[in-house]
Amino acid sequence: MLMHNPPHPGEILKKLCLEPLGLSVTEAAKALGVSRKTLSSILNGRAGISPEMAVRLSMAFDTTAESWLNQQVQYDLWQAERRRKKLRVARLSAA
């Protein structure tokens, strides 16, 4: 079941992980082993959570990689569904 207008995973990462720990983007990026630019793109909703980033986040914050990827899938699917009427797709069926 689709969540109604789910937040971008970067928003969740910022609000539930970085802010409570008082971590700056630079500190968190260093701990995750990624560039500040990469993490900033995720936090600002310009990039999504990749499988590798999901594993990094799970290691850093004692969560599961699946939870991060599920958040990303829910967000992406919600965005795609919003564009459903604009998609030009022919219905196919077996004869």
Q: Give how many domains the chain has, as a whole number.
A: 1
Residue 90 lies in a domain: no
**DSSP string for residues in 9-78:** HHHHIIIIIIHHHT--HHHHHHHHTS-HHHHHHHHTTSS---HHHHHHHHHHHT--HHHHHHHHHHHHHH
pLDDT by residue (tens digit) across 33-68?
A: 999 999 999 999 999 999 999 999 999 999 999 999
Q: What is the CATH number of the domain that holds 13?
A: 1.10.260.40
Model pTM score: 0.89
Range of the domain at 39: 9-85
pLDDT in tens, 1-30: 566 889 999 999 999 999 999 999 999 999
Q: Tell the residue number behind the tokens 């986040």, with chain if given.
A: 57
